[in-house]
Amino acid sequence: MIIMHAAIFYFFVFFIQGASANSLAEIRVLLDKVEAPNKMHLTIHAPDGFIIIPHSKKSKPFLEEHPCLLIEGQNGSFLLHTKPSLISNKKIPKQSVLSNAQTITITPRKKSPITINDKQYYGNCTIHIDKHKKSYYLINTLPLEEYVYSVLLYESYAHWPNEMQKVQAVATRTFAARCMNEAKNKQAVYDIKNNIFHQRYDGTHNYDHLRQAIEETKDLIITHENRAALTMFDACCGGIIPSKLDTIDFSKAPYLKRSYRCTFCKNFSLYRWKYNCSLHDLTQSLLATSLKSKVRPCGPLKKLQVIDHDAAGSVNYLEYRGRAGNIKLATHKIKNCLGNGLRSKFFTLKQKGDILTFKGKGFGHGLGLCQHGARAMVNKNYDYKKILAYYFPKTKLSLLSKIK
């Protein structure tokens, strides 16, 4: 049952705050954003119950000893009640409604992972209702080093050697630190998203050997002018020269303006690639997107051609020539339609009959760290510091705890 134990609660709060004061940085990861908070539905589990903290002067904090908690959004408020656990068949006790708090934080009573909708995470979870945008944010707050450990599995390959894991660990930690700083300046409710545009994060895992790279690079980040660098990375740069890209404002991140070609990734299978697509299939794919209203008046596709590219070979725009009209399309719109068919924006295009043939290079955006290039450098006995200096020129390694 959800019960109030103020004295015990404040003991826990004092303990947690003391522990946090002596720990390294924590990061707030946006796990989910759902429109219409009335439809919010979460199941949270912790074996020893929870500390529940409403962020409101009118709602007092309380302890919940039951291991399973159900949280629902109800008319802009939180509806909490416990669920029967997997072990016992206890009846669901009385519900609690928090009508004065727009944000609540739920922390396991003891140091253990917390399970949210069947996925396990370190740290705690915070749920924030934005009544103006009619949405809710589900946020996981955890130690930065635990976050980096988790991301390593999803943004790298677990079987790669430890030196490569160290390269990725520093790049991942740096990207996260930069996002944390930007979120602080914006007073945002979270620091970083869980997606391919930020970094993929999927909670806990059991690949414990990855912790070695975390420990051996602990607190290390890449900096430029005493600030965390924007450490972008992709699978394979395809040997393009980043400084020739004309769509990037390098004044904000001069270390991404690498003026030399990476050749270390040349043996990777996607250093060069080829993709065929029919005019009909591309037309149907475009009609299934938000571009439908622009594409449909042009009629079925007769020809697709590149109309804008830069010196790096990045295609910026293509022209869709239909039976009834033409339209200019940004390359990323086409790329999104074709999924992994187009591995990058670095390609040439030819048409034979109703078949389009894309011949390209690389897998990703071509900026920053080339993962398969770095992996090949490890094979040639480069250490992680030299690899990071190669892909992020004009930077240095610093301790995050020393950066203001």
> What is d(CA 71, CA 44) in angstroms, rounded to the nearest whole number?
8
Do 230 and 326 belong to one domain?
A: no
Do 161 and 260 belong to one domain?
A: yes
- C-alpha atoms less than 13 angstroms from C-alpha of 225 in its C-beta half-sphere: 6
CA 255 to chain centre: 22
Residues 254/394, Cβ–Cβ less than 8 Å: yes
Do 17 and 116 belong to one domain?
A: yes
The gap between the terminal CA atoms of the chain, to the nearest Å, is: 44
Q: Of 144, 163, 190, which closes a domain?
A: 144
Query: Bridge partners of 237?
Result: none
Bridge-based pairing of strands 119-121 and 114-116 is antiparallel
Do 157 and 92 belong to one domain?
A: no
- Per-residue CA distances from 71 to 50, 96, 125, 139, 392 (Å): 13, 10, 12, 14, 45
With DSSP H G I counted as helix, E B as strand and the rest as coil, what are the percentages for the chain, rounded to 5? 30, 35, 40
pTM over 0.85: yes
Q: Of 123, 144, 165, which closes a domain?
A: 144
Residues 222/395, Cβ–Cβ less than 8 Å: yes
Q: Where are the alpha helices (DSSP H) in 232-383?
A: 279-287, 292-295, 331-338, 371-379
Do 122 and 60 belong to one domain?
A: yes
Bridge-based pairing of strands 96-98 and 103-108 is unpaired
Query: Bridge partners of 222?
Result: 397
Do 298 and 225 belong to one domain?
A: no
- What are the tokens at 360? 């390209």
Residues 285/339, Cβ–Cβ less than 8 Å: no
- What are the tokens at 254? 């001069």
**Total domain count, the chain:** 3
Burial of 385 (0-12, 13-18, 19+ CB in 10 A): middle
The confidence score (pLDDT) of residue 395 equals 98
Do 26 and 129 belong to one domain?
A: yes
CA angle 190, 193, 195 (to 5 degrees): 170
**3-state SS class at 237:** coil
The confidence score (pLDDT) of residue 131 equals 74
The confidence score (pLDDT) of residue 142 equals 97
DSSP code string of 45-79 = E-TT-EEEEESSTTS--EEE-SSEEEEEEETTEEE
Do 36 and 120 belong to one domain?
A: yes
- Residue with token string 């430029």: 224
Which of these, 198, 310, 190, lies nearest to 250 by C-alpha position?
310
Do 158 and 285 belong to one domain?
A: no
- Residue 394's domain comprises 146-265+365-402
The confidence score (pLDDT) of residue 16 equals 44
Do 65 and 113 belong to one domain?
A: yes
The confidence score (pLDDT) of residue 133 equals 67
Do 174 and 297 belong to one domain?
A: no
Q: Of 101, 123, 144, which closes a domain?
A: 144
Residues 88/67, Cβ–Cβ less than 8 Å: no
The confidence score (pLDDT) of residue 61 equals 80
CA dihedral 239, 244, 247, 248 (to 10 degrees): 90
Question: Tens-digit pLDDT profile for the chain (404 aa)?
Answer: 344 444 444 444 444 444 443 346 999 999 998 876 567 788 999 999 989 888 877 777 888 888 888 888 766 677 777 765 443 344 444 455 555 668 889 999 988 899 999 999 999 999 998 877 678 899 999 999 999 999 999 999 999 999 999 999 999 999 999 999 999 999 999 999 998 889 999 999 999 999 999 999 999 999 999 999 999 999 999 999 999 999 889 999 999 999 999 999 999 999 999 999 999 999 999 999 999 999 999 999 999 999 999 999 999 999 999 999 999 999 999 998 888 899 999 999 999 999 999 999 999 999 999 999 999 999 999 999 999 999 999 999 999 998 86
Do 243 and 370 belong to one domain?
A: yes
